[in-house]
Structure 1
Amino acid sequence: MTTILCHYEGDLRCSASHGPSGSALSTDAPTDNQGLGERFSPTDLVATALATCILTIMGLVAERHTIALQGCTARVEKTMTTGGVRQIERLTVWVALPAGLAPDQIRLLQRAAEGCPVKRSLEGSVAMELHWQTLAATDA
C-alpha cells in the first residue's frame, strides 16, 4: 500500500506528497475549466500515468530479456468530452521504439505495454489507442 497526501491550496490548485519518497507535485485546473493551466491537471496526470506505466512495464521486460530500450518514448494525447459530464473521452499513445529491435522483441514489448496496470485499470472506462513506430537509426 502506498499513501499519497493531497492538500487543496486554493485557486483550484492542489499539492501532493508521495509518502514513501517525499516527492511532491502540484496540480492546477486547466484553462478550459476555470484554472490557470500552469501545472499538470488531475486528468493530465491520468494520461501521464498511462504513458509512463507503459514505458516502465516495457523497461522491466526489456531488462529481463536484455533488450536495449534507451531512447524509447511515449507521447500521449488526452481528449476530454465536450458535452455532458466532464471526463476523459480518449487517451491516444504513440510509442516510439529504438532502432534495431527484432520483430519478436517488438511483439514482446507491445504485449507488455498492453498489459500495464494503468491501462488495465482504465479499460472499460476510457477509450485508449496505442500506436507503434520504430525510430530510424538517425532518429535515436
Structure 2
Amino acid sequence: MSTSYIKYRPLLKTDATHLRSGVMITTDAPVDNNGQGAFFSPTDLAATSLANCMLTVMGIYADQNNLEFTHIECELTKIMAANPRRISEIQIDVKWKTNLAEKEIEKLKKVGLNCPVAKSLHPDIKQNINFSIEKLS
C-alpha cells in the first residue's frame, strides 16, 4: 500500500495526505528560496524528522524496558548549503529532565542517535546533537 499522496498547488506549496490516517500536512518553499515560509519546507521536514525519529525510537525502547520517558523536548536548527542547495547540518538541542540511572540514559541516547532517519541521511549531513540532562526533583 502507498504511504502518502502529494499534490502540488500554486504557489510553491504541496499538500501531502497520509493515506492510512488521512492526516494532511502542507509545505511551502522557504523565504530564502522564493517561498512565503508559511509552512514547514520540505527540507524543514527532513531535518525535523531526525528529532521526531530519535524521540520515537527512544520512547519505544523505554516502553519495552519499563523506563519512564517523559520531560524531553528538542530544539532544532537546520543549516543549508549552496551549490548544490542542500541540508549541510542539523543541530538538535535535547533538553531532558529525568531520574533514570546514567546507564539507562546512555542506552537511550545511543538508541536515539542510531534511529532509522539518522542512518538514512547522507553522511555529508552533519548531525550535531547535544543532550542537556537535568535530574528531576
What range describes the TM-score normalised by the shorter chain of this pair? over 0.9
Contact 1:7 1:15 in 2 (8 A): yes
CA deviations over 1:38-77 (Å, ceiling 9, x no partner): 1000000011110000000000011112111111112211
Aligned position for 2:111: 112
Question: What SS does structure 2 have at the residue aligned with 1:98?
Answer: strand
Contact 1:69 1:97 in 2 (8 A): no
Runs of 4+ in structure 1 deviating by more than 3 angstroms, as ranges, are: none
Separation in structure 2 between the aligned mates of residue 68 and residue 126 of structure 1, nearest angstrom? 31
Identity percentage over the alignment?
34
Structure 2, gaps ≥5 residues long: none
Contact 1:99 1:135 in 2 (8 A): yes
Please identify which structure carries the higher strand content. Answer: 2
Question: How high is the TM-score relative to the length of structure 2?
Answer: 0.93
Separation in structure 2 between the aligned mates of residue 96 and residue 68 of structure 1, nearest angstrom? 15
Q: Given the alignment of the two structures, is residue 59 of structure 1 paired with residue 59 of structure 2, yes or no?
A: yes
**CA offset at residue 15 of structure 1?**
0.4
Q: CA RMSD in A?
A: 1.4
Aligned position for 1:48: 48
**CA offset at residue 120 of structure 1?**
0.3
Separation in structure 1 between the aligned mates of residue 69 and residue 108 of structure 2, nearest angstrom? 10
Aligned position for 1:36: 36
Structure 1 stretch 94-103 or stretch 53-62: which is displaced more? Answer: 94-103
Separation in structure 1 between the aligned mates of residue 2 and residue 71 of structure 2, nearest angstrom? 29
**CA offset at residue 135 of structure 1?**
2.8
Question: How high is the TM-score relative to the length of structure 1?
Answer: 0.92
Structure 1, gaps ≥5 residues long: none
Aligned position for 1:74: 74
**CA offset at residue 123 of structure 1?**
4.3
**CA offset at residue 87 of structure 1?**
0.4
Separation in structure 1 between the aligned mates of residue 107 and residue 29 of structure 2, nearest angstrom? 38
